[in-house]
Structure 1
């Protein structure tokens, strides 16, 4: 009897923690996707997504900075005074960006040259400093790690999707530069629409980035609206069933 009494609160805590982590992941990947909802990080999002590999490379770099900075900010949150909080967070982010830029220059030199200034500009990505300030500085290590990872993956998926669409429509290829990240053996991953397809120049120009992002935001809005309608319909059905009972 006593064992059951202690077991139930423990199970409830585990369930609540799981639900909390699930909510963090859902927010990062979809509900609060920083690129589609908050519209943060638009400069690199629009500038480098002319190919899928460019978007994937910058997305992975941004995710690494997000995870590392969130974890570090969470660990030092009780040691930093409020007056110097933001400068310290920016220094932490800048340190990780510098390390990742040097690593990309060493191991992915060609991709590093293509992405250029947009790698050090990760420091100015409002999504990173925003998560450090709004979430990591108020939560423990595990929650901050999950938040950074989910926000980073959500941002990377948008970069990859937009880059893939623009490359496919604009050049008629997909993953044409996969060897820049995965080596010469990855050239077999390249997909083409056929030699007869000459591409649509608008897709790989700056206006194509704005149009593509607008379409992605519109698609998300439509999906959210339909999901909300389903939830409301289900709630109404349950309410009617209870009234009839």
Structure 2
């Protein structure tokens, strides 16, 4: 017959091992849950995959959704997937000397839900596509003509400036959300074609957003932010 010590030891071990196993399982479940939530967040950070062959945008629909509603598939035609015009030079007769010709879902309805778009950008000699961001897209471009200086700035706190001069046939990528620009550094015209990872990438031009906001950002806020006199801010806001 077992003594009291052996009896309590056996019961203690029997209670310990299941509890230990349960704790290990709980830890693994917590880890798996964290991983699952992380990947779920990443999946939600990009445009959802289409659940059908296509969803041609219906510009006449009054329904407001995050994107554009679908046209009746039986009414879809080849022209819904077609755009003509990127062979034409954009009008660069403006203060910056550049012109962006977009091909988004609004110009090419067949792009709706496909998560991609493109633009043609023309630059007069020394023309500039001013510093801006695309809040919803990565951008990759290739130079068709001319010589361009391109660059982007990394996020805080480093704010590292990464820049390169591109020639015809070169390719460069701008990570999503980062401030970037292109400038023609040649004496002739320059042209690029760029692809973006959203049907509606959005564009925030830094100067316009900061100094041309509507209604205007109070000048004293900008003066403190940029560490300049308020009169300097007034002059800049007057230009936008």
TM-score in terms of structure 2 length:
0.23
State TM-score, norm by structure 1. 0.22
Relative to its length, the structure with more helix (as a share) is: 1
Higher strand share: 2
